[in-house]
Chain A
């Protein structure tokens, strides 16, 4: 031990190294840590990795592919957690250039999940000498992993005193691990929490040190249960430390080109954010009222798209809660600064009752998920759930959507107080929702069942309670096993595909087309929808290859964007990304290359899912609640809209039909439309009708490696 610490730490394995310098966004090596065998090793970054997989999610998929077997499941030791930022990650001249991507086999979906996250870990990992961190194995006892790029030392350690819940890990990091004030700036920790180990919906928290607040804060890699994998490996924390970050730490090929792009965007943000989305004031919470106004806000388990009480949780409410005037970026140099926080929040319930804490967020997805979707229109319980989800290491989206499903089951009579152990889980019962969350955190009561996620709850309710499987499949808002993020898609066929025709499951970071489709009517034909479901998932994938955040792409736009041919794509910002990638790596690209770079990785991920036994057409099915009204109540809440469709599209006379008949007729039509959408999208993506990438597609993208081709050939 090089330092006297307040916690007991025993080194199990040690590795010393000379930190590689960063060159044009890459260090040229990745770090492999096996917590079963106590092995630590460096692996070279090959030309194939850089050319075809770029970094970030691409590196994660490539390393995971070679680390697991066809039959590997999420809790097998050979499953891995791979963290990588990407070549542009760590840039400080352009907003939103510090993201990390985490990849693993998901306990919710049994296929690969990728989850993007802010915080400082990914960039600091690179500046400590590593383009990616690959963790494999399952420790015998609880461990921490410490990567110290300043001293060139990596350790796997037993640390029995280190806490598990994330806000406590944050205290430990700055009190025990940091040797000086400046150390705090350049350290970051990955943690999960006790809830992550008792559920399948565990998230990872990535820290950043907030210099103004002089406290650690956390951003979440929320989706897909990677926090559950982390705790299953008996890892409490992974710490990285680097030398001080400078403006040229990422060693770009052409610093001036990057600076020019950065100055353009900084000026836009300064000049127009206040009249556009006000990200600097309230972050993504601005979406709550907008979604409500356009009937897209999930209410009562996605039954409805608006609610009269939604103003109680709208942007202006959060503006009062968020501390204003602080530079709330989650990486240096991000002037969009949307990572707001509520300071001085006094915890009301549970094991940390009475503690005064910082609540990171809430962001839109949390407000809509644990708020409106559960019928909770009160900011205080939303904050309480936000805090506990983060510190327990539970994804707020899966918790919110899962709890909304439970509440509908309760109100439909599938559940009762006896089955829930006394929790009256009706819509709007915030106290019951909070108690359910504590049960997940402490592995107790009904929380043990709910924490398994909607897909497994459905199976359990049918098996144990004799529930109607068809009804549960209709209202259970999950696809591939992952809970939906928080948008109502009934009236947007394109967004039904944006959630369903995905690799990891229904998460909006692949494609978000509701307004283009439903409101602006820019995608009227199947060809239009298919093109959008090709372009936008690929474009968004690219952010995750390079270390970028999506938000500065289109939550701010230049004033002359309105005069461009394709304003929805924000052409000037696309050019910025071309300049950034070329300026960092020295590899000159055109805007079209962004799409083909992503296509290679996206198709590789599809093949990976097929290799693991999923990834085919049937696995792209979605619950009917995402396509149309399941119940009479839902239909009759929007009768005018649905009757009009029956008349104008199907030529039926609603006046002569019962509501049940109308529900059935609309359903037959809409489900047919979704199947047609599948055909159109698969063809555009170069896949078979069974959603398998064709060999010619793999060849065109240069990923026709023998083991990849062998996977698809079984299905051709």
Chain B
């Protein structure tokens, strides 16, 4: 199990990448910051960076309306 944004419990699976997680959460907004256990993950790593079981993931959306 991984925890997203200190709230949502997401079932972990072997090989789960950041891109997989974003798709599963339907996080389509591109202008985001992703942290795994406090470490900032760069966008170019989203497709390859695997999230470990038990990780705390933060997906901060940099959007603030019109």
Q: Could you list which residues of chain A lie within 8 angstroms of chain B, going by C-beta atoms?
A: 275-277, 284, 287, 289-290, 293-294, 363-365, 485, 487, 508-509, 512, 514-516, 519-522, 524, 550-551, 553-555, 557, 561-563, 567-568, 570
Min Cβ gap B50→A in Å is 20
User: Which B10-41 residues have a C-beta within 8 angstroms of A?
Assistant: 26-31, 33, 40
Can you list 11 pairs linking A and B with CB atoms under 8 Å apart? A290-B28, A290-B29, A294-B26, A485-B66, A512-B65, A512-B66, A515-B64, A519-B61, A524-B7, A554-B64, A561-B33
In the complex, are the beta carbons of B66 and A508 less than 8 A apart? yes
Given B27, B58, B62, which contacts A557 in the complex, CB threshold below 8 Å?
A: B62
In the complex, are the beta carbons of B7 and A521 less than 8 A apart? yes
In the complex, are the beta carbons of A290 and B63 less than 8 A apart? yes
Given B7, B60, B65, B66, which contacts A568 in the complex, CB threshold below 8 Å?
A: B60
In the complex, are the beta carbons of B65 and A293 less than 8 A apart? no
A-side contacts of B27, CB under 8 Å: 519
Q: Which residue of B lies closest to A563 (CB)?
A: B40
Closest 4 CB pairs of A and B: A512-B65, A521-B5, A562-B33, A515-B61
A-side contacts of B5, CB under 8 Å: 519-521
Q: Bound complex: CA of A512 vs CA of B65, how far in Å? A: 6
In the complex, are the beta carbons of A520 and B58 less than 8 A apart? yes
Mostly, the A contact residues are: helix
In the complex, are the beta carbons of B40 and A520 less than 8 A apart? no
Mostly, the B contact residues are: loop
Min Cβ gap A559→B in Å is 9
Q: Which of A284, A509, A516, A520 has the most CB of B within 10 A?
A: A520
Q: Bound complex: CA of A131 vs CA of B12, how far in Å? A: 60
In the complex, are the beta carbons of A520 and B66 less than 8 A apart? no
Q: Which of A485, A509, A519 has the most CB of B within 10 A?
A: A519
Min Cβ gap B33→A in Å is 4
In the complex, are the beta carbons of B26 and A521 less than 8 A apart? no
Q: How many inter-chain residue pairs (CB < 8 Å) link A and B?
A: 71
Q: Bound complex: CA of A290 vs CA of B66, how far in Å? A: 13
In the complex, are the beta carbons of B30 and A567 less than 8 A apart? no
In the complex, are the beta carbons of B29 and A567 less than 8 A apart? no
A-side contacts of B6, CB under 8 Å: 521, 524
A-side contacts of B65, CB under 8 Å: 287, 487, 508, 512, 514
B55 part of interface (Cβ distance < 8 Å): no
A-side contacts of B58, CB under 8 Å: 520
Q: Bound complex: CA of A255 vs CA of B5, how far in Å? A: 43
Given B28, B61, B62, which contacts A561 in the complex, CB threshold below 8 Å?
A: B62
Min Cβ gap B30→A in Å is 7
Min Cβ gap A260→B in Å is 24
In the complex, are the beta carbons of B30 and A276 less than 8 A apart? yes
Min Cβ gap B40→A in Å is 5
Q: Bound complex: CA of A557 vs CA of B33, how far in Å? A: 11
Q: Bound complex: CA of A554 vs CA of B61, how far in Å? A: 11
B2 part of interface (Cβ distance < 8 Å): no
Q: A284-B66, A514-B65 are in contact. Are A567 and B60 (CB under 8 A)?
A: yes
Q: A519-B5, A520-B5 are in contact. Are A568 and B28 (CB under 8 A)?
A: no
Min Cβ gap A292→B in Å is 9
A-side contacts of B26, CB under 8 Å: 293-294
Q: Bound complex: CA of A553 vs CA of B66, how far in Å? A: 11
Q: Which residue of A lies closest to B61 (CB)?
A: A515
Q: Which residue of B lies closest to A569 (CB)?
A: B64
In the complex, are the beta carbons of B31 and A520 less than 8 A apart? no
Q: Which residue of A lies closest to B58 (CB)?
A: A520
**Besides A512-B64, A554-B64, A563-B40, 13 other CB < 8 A contacts?**
A276-B31, A287-B66, A290-B29, A293-B26, A508-B66, A512-B65, A512-B66, A515-B64, A516-B64, A520-B5, A551-B66, A557-B31, A568-B60
A-side contacts of B33, CB under 8 Å: 561-562, 567
In the complex, are the beta carbons of B28 and A293 less than 8 A apart? yes
A-side contacts of B63, CB under 8 Å: 287, 290, 515, 554
Min Cβ gap A391→B in Å is 22
In the complex, are the beta carbons of B66 and A567 less than 8 A apart? no
B-side contacts of A516, CB under 8 Å: 61, 64
Given A275, A508, A554, which contacts B30 in the complex, CB threshold below 8 Å?
A: A275
Q: Bound complex: CA of A557 vs CA of B64, how far in Å? A: 12
Q: Bound complex: CA of A522 vs CA of B6, how far in Å? A: 9
B-side contacts of A561, CB under 8 Å: 33, 62
B-side contacts of A276, CB under 8 Å: 30-31
Q: Which of A522, A550, A561, A562 has the most CB of B within 10 A?
A: A562
Q: Which residue of A lies closest to B34 (CB)?
A: A562
In the complex, are the beta carbons of A520 and B29 less than 8 A apart? no
Q: Bound complex: CA of A514 vs CA of B65, how far in Å? A: 9
In the complex, are the beta carbons of B31 and A277 less than 8 A apart? yes
Given B28, B30, B61, which contacts A520 in the complex, CB threshold below 8 Å?
A: B61
Q: Bound complex: CA of A529 vs CA of B7, how far in Å? A: 16
B-side contacts of A570, CB under 8 Å: 62
B-side contacts of A487, CB under 8 Å: 65
Min Cβ gap B18→A in Å is 13
Min Cβ gap B12→A in Å is 19
B-side contacts of A515, CB under 8 Å: 61, 63-64
Q: Which of B6, B64, B65 has the most CB of A within 10 A?
A: B65
A-side contacts of B66, CB under 8 Å: 284, 287, 363-365, 485, 508-509, 512, 550-551
In the complex, are the beta carbons of A520 and B64 less than 8 A apart? no
B-side contacts of A277, CB under 8 Å: 31
Min Cβ gap A658→B in Å is 29
B-side contacts of A557, CB under 8 Å: 31, 62
